[in-house]
């Protein structure tokens, strides 16, 4: 299991990165980003099972 924190300029970019990760590994994806007031950009956290590639059986 791996935890990936994505820092991006906007929601669209953060979700695009998450989609790329989800295309390779089993992923518990996030449905929203977070923002820190007064700071630019967004953050998103997703969880990957890096032992299990998509389409494989464990």
Q: pLDDT (tens digit, 9 = 90+) per residue, 7-58?
A: 999 999 999 999 999 888 888 888 999 999 999 999 999 999 888 766 655 5
Residue closest to 4 by CA, chosen among 54, 55, 48, 52: 48
What's the confidence (pLDDT) of residue 54?
A: 64
Q: State both tokens at 54.
A: 């998509």
Residue closest to 40 by CA, chosen among 7, 17, 16: 7
> How many residues can be counted in the chain?
58
Contacts of 50 (CB under 8 A, 6+ apart): 1, 2, 25
């Amino acid at each position: 299991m791996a935890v990936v924190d994505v820092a991006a300029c906007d929601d669209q970019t953060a979700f695009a990165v998450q989609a790329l990760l989800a295309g390779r590994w089993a992923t518990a994806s996030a449905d929203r980003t977070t923002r820190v007031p007064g700071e630019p950009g967004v953050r998103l956290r997703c969880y990957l099972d890096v032992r299990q590639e998509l389409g494989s059986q464990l």
